[in-house]
Amino acid sequence: QVQLVESGGGLVQPGGSLRLSCAASGTIFSINVMGWYRQAPGKQRELVAVITSGGSADYPDFVKGRFTISRDNAKNTVNLQMNSLKPEDTAVYYCNAIIANRSYWGQGTQVTVSS
């Protein structure tokens, strides 16, 4: 069984920064893709950042230049550095991992951007 546990959410003022972390545990041989998604109240879950095992990252335009995803393959961890945060970044952020063609999710961590 694979578990993903996120940490690092919280309350931050507009323009501030937060760093989210996610650790995968369980029977894991390799993780193909890891990513971060978010879901705001009343909205669909959306992709925020994704990174392959080789380190190739991709971002949607609304976070490009502000968010940076990174991973440690040896530790099965993925991080999301979020800078220049805006109120519209407020959401529950979820870690995702694709392992042996199965998708796993963390429980989510709340990020609130407000003055």
**Which residues of the chain are modeled with pLDDT < 50?**
none
pLDDT of residue 109: 97
Q: Average model confidence (pLDDT) for the chain?
A: 96
- pLDDT computed for residue 28 by the predictor: 84
Q: Find the farthest-apart pair of alpha carbons in the chain and give their distance in angstroms, rounded.
A: 43
**Are 33 and 50 a contacting pair, CB within 8 Å?**
yes
Q: Can you give the pLDDT at residue 11? A: 98
Question: 13 — phi, psi (to 5°)?
Answer: -80, 155
Structure tokens at 20: 């989210």
For residue range 56-77, list pLDDT tens digits in order.
999 999 999 999 999 999 999 9
CA dihedral 24, 111, 61, 115 (to 10 degrees): -160
